[in-house]
Structure 1
């Protein structure tokens, strides 16, 4: 677990029978209970292969994010397979259970449980309902940062500003989840972020960028970026970056003004060996053979 670098402050995760997890519990003050929303508990985990919760019911509202991996979520009379980026909601009194998908090796979850008169309306704004308590492709890396700030407050609760800060952070999380892009977004909105990311790759492909950098520019979940980019370009984002580098390298090889090492560095590869392997795999011949055949 420590080698993955997945969690910040990873040492705060404790080992349990079916997971490594951090559970943070909160007892709301009278001031908090006078408002419309307050925290009951929050946390995060890294599941073991035998991970399973329930069947059970709870007496509060709880939103769970599948940060990585996949689960099977049983709710009421339904069952749904949820993947990285999906959210599910536990409603008060609604019987539920969930478990890691068979063969899954890296299931991570974040959760936030709350009560108050604003809880159910806020969950509805995200897209949850008692009949369909889940939404697809909603969790973004920025949401993890917002949740981490809530966790920091829960670990060190106290002080005159604590209650207001915690309340503010909770509403920020719900606002972010409710405003996140969905598959129902307009085509013009999709075109904006996708065009921005493709332009980024077109502009910076020689600088050693990778797909993760383009995902950050797009501002959407990695899986959504892959799907939209592949539909638009006809190839995956990684294949598109390779295509740009290979086409440019051919121009430079034919031009003949740079040696092989300079060509490699000019198209974003760290050395001639990495470039030669990529070129040979892409064109079926070594770059030196290509230059001999097509160069001046």
Structure 2
């Protein structure tokens, strides 16, 4: 085998890992919420529960996996058994989520092993560089083994490059409530071209992508700044605090105050 040629090109499709950890739910637990922004994998370790999402209802049992993408509505209905699962969340704008009929599937045994290894790395590896490398490596290996259809978008195309410039400007200026017409004027493009660019780059429409950016920024302000909820609402362009609270609750499944309270040590 030759080793003097390029086997892959371009960056990794994984931009960041947002969570890795074990979750437990008591018998008869029930909850309605939204999944995390970005991509989210759940692997059932023990027990069972009924899951309703995207108009489909599944009985989740040990060895089952479910794939969520960008804040989907979820209804959890527990049974007489306790439930335990591992969650692996990540941002990967270039990866198109699998079609809805492939969101629930049995995990290969190797995937279970990789999940457990990643959990151990997240808990025990103290060197940040090694932890990052090992978690990204485990996640890429997991994605390569899933029995579903995943597609990587052409993030290096001209259309995609336009949206990444737009998104960088939105983040830098905190213009999370800007109208598409204003973006088109600022970047000398048409509405259809901007829409095509956003879909090519992220798999989402501009409206959904900007909402995701807005909620991700809100989450960061709540977690990492002392700003009041009213200050955060004003900073993100909301005219009234209750408008911000309503959208945040719709997106994350809980009020901003409760979200901050839960995140506090």
Q: TM-score range by the shorter chain?
A: 0.3 to 0.5
Give the TM-score normalised by the residue count of structure 2.
Answer: 0.37
Q: Of the two structures, which has the highest relative contact order with CA contacts closer than 8 Å and spacing of 6 or more? A: 2
Give the TM-score normalised by the residue count of structure 1.
Answer: 0.33
The structure number with the bigger radius of gyration is 1
